[in-house]
Structure 1
């Protein structure tokens, strides 16, 4: 089957980011062509002028619609696309020049109706963005489930860097109305319908993620609230490890209380863990400040996800 790619990009009030992403798409070494669809999801800061700038360089279409969320915007784009294989990117990513070529090469070698790719920190990112990237991808914090092949079994693609065939979209109807965890929900429905997924390790993107600790906390809190809902919807996918961030935070609180009464052993364990994070991040990023921030972002990640998980599990009616 000849692969015809359509790249779908939902955007909401991020004209500067979409500018950088479109610029990176003009530099692809892929020679067979692809179309790009930008779906403006009811933004008050529209990206139409930015998109217009790239129309001479890309096969580019722009759509403005009422705000309905990223999942619905991705579905809208796939319905409007002409390709037989959709590549879905978040507006806050930058793609390296070989990205589309690597996707094509991998699918021709081992075709699957869906794929996901990892993310990395670009050298131009802020120190905080690099630290957030570390926290979200490190084996010490997430087990490497977001893009290291040796750390994953059956891979669950994430919506910031995801591929889906036209056939799989037609069967599953794409993303659900879930605000968080909609990409995991799609993966489970793909598997239920007999479609295979894979990690294309070389199809990575540079992912900016959030630019403040507050934004990162809010994002991870949302991830945490989604998991109990997914566990209830797909009981066979529930794992005890999903409780780990919540137990980590509860354990840290108890350790601090015990330390007040001179029982320091448990708090020393946490100190050792954060020290490991510091040196591992230092090894990867070659920057002391990023390594220090990685401790803060890792704690923020556990706190956000753990509290979101507990709130959703015990207080939100699903």
Structure 2
């Protein structure tokens, strides 16, 4: 069974070696490694091409800069494996990650593993007691909409490629495009294997959009969650309250970040406050939302 590993790359010369070495050193060898250079203006492309000379499993695709969503689409278009795995260029994976995920797959549509924020092998989080669960369709949708145990991140999920037919990353979604794509994939998914074993190491990038101040790109998460709410209302009405809570969480956190940087778009701020006010009852009743977050939501409703 061949696994396609897709790595979007943009100006990653400082850390791409660690990422690619962790992929090439996988104990599972039947790999197709698709590296998409998204118009880097540093030495990234040269590094990718040098790696391709060393290993015939590597396919380098070069394109003008179009953004991470387009780069992920390009990677998907060039993948031919039975399963796909997205890896961010500044992250790294355990040498046995693919082997373990394949072992766990056992005809499952998706395998979902644990991750941490380790920057080196010495700082890897240790797990005592490896667990494995099998989720059916209802459990998958429920957990995605709650967005606690399972987030919208793609990089710790081995996905059967056939599930992605007709699914695309939306370049207009500047923040949360991975969750939007995963939501599409989950409509075709019937089973998921979930393990707490940490096989993926995500290294936070201080320059990424998730660490920058509030912006128009981050505001796009609101429309993304509204679309998911509309889908949930039509297909899974029994889980609509969880979709509304996630939309409200996006609005409350957006207002928090907007205040931190004195964001000035009054219409967007007003709209996020209206979302919070409309859904505050269910938000306050949710036992998986922190008390601190609930207090801030109340303050937002008052007009802070």
Please, what TM-score do these two structures have when normalized by structure 2?
0.63
Sort the Cα spacing of 1:221 and 1:164 in 2 relative to 1 into closer, same or farther, 3 A. farther
Conserved in 1, the CA contact under 8 Å of 2:8 and 2:88? yes
Residue deviations 1:173-211 (CA, integer Å, cap 9, x gap):
332232221121122222334554454432531111223
Give the match for residue 287 of structure 2.
none
Shift, 1:218, TM fit:
1.8
- Which residue in 1 is equivalent to 2:219? 225
Moved more, 178-187 or 34-43: 178-187
Maintained 8 Å contact 2:151/2:179: yes
Q: Per-residue CA shift, 1:255-283, capped at 9, x if unaligned?
A: xxxxxxxxxxxxxxxxxxxxxxxxxxxxx
In structure 1, which of residues 209, 213, 232 is the aligned counterpart of residue 204 of structure 2? 209
Q: In structure 2, do the counterparts of structure 1 residues 15 and 162 end up closer, same or farther at CA, with 3 Å as the change threshold?
A: farther
1:2-25 Cα shifts (integer Å, max 9, x gaps):
x31010101111122222101111
Q: CA deviation at 1:221?
A: 6.1
Q: 1:202 to 1:154 in 2, by over 3 A?
A: closer
Q: 1:234 to 1:300 in 2, by over 3 A?
A: closer
Q: Quote the residue 2:156 is aligned against.
A: 161
Contact 1:90 1:159 in 2 (8 A): no
Write out aligned runs for 1:134-153 (5 A).
none
- Give the equivalent residue in structure 2 for 1:187: 182
Q: Aligned Cα RMSD in Å?
A: 4.0
Give per-residue Cα distances to partners, 1:247-304, cap 9 Å, x unaligned: 5898xxxxxxxxxxxxxxxxxxxxxxxxxxxxxxxxxxxxxxxxxxxxxxxx979968
Matched, 1:120 2:77: no
2-structure distance, mates of 1:218, 1:49: 29
What is the rounded CA distance, in whole Å, between the counterparts of 2:222 and 2:112 in structure 1? 23
Partner Cα distance (1:247, 1:182) in 2: 19
Is 1:4–1:85's contact at 8 Å kept on the other side of the alignment? Answer: yes
Q: Deviations over 1:123-161 (max 9, x none)?
A: 539x9xx9xxxxxxxxxxxxxxxxx9xx97884441333
Residue of structure 2 equivalent to 1:289: none
8 Å CA contact retained: 2:92, 2:202: yes
Bigger helix share: 1
Alignment of 1:17-166 (within 5 A): 17-30=15-28, 32-55=29-52, 56-57=54-55, 59-108=57-106, 111-112=108-109, 114-122=110-118, 124=120, 155-166=150-161
Please give the alpha-carbon distance, in whole angstroms, between the structure 1 residues aligned to 2:189 and 2:226: 21
2:128 is matched with which residue?
none
Q: How do 1:223-302 residues align onto structure 2 when only pairs under 5 Å count? A: 225-235=219-229, 236=232, 238-240=243-245, 242-244=247-249
1:119 aligned counterpart, secondary structure: strand
The corresponding residue for 2:236 is none
Q: Within 2, Cα distance between the matches of 1:243 and 1:232?
A: 10
For residue 29 of structure 1, report the CA deviation from its aligned partner.
1.8
Q: Conserved in 2, the CA contact under 8 Å of 1:103 and 1:203?
A: no
Question: Which segments of 5 or more consecutive residues in structure 1 lack a partner in the other structure?
Answer: 131-147, 251-298
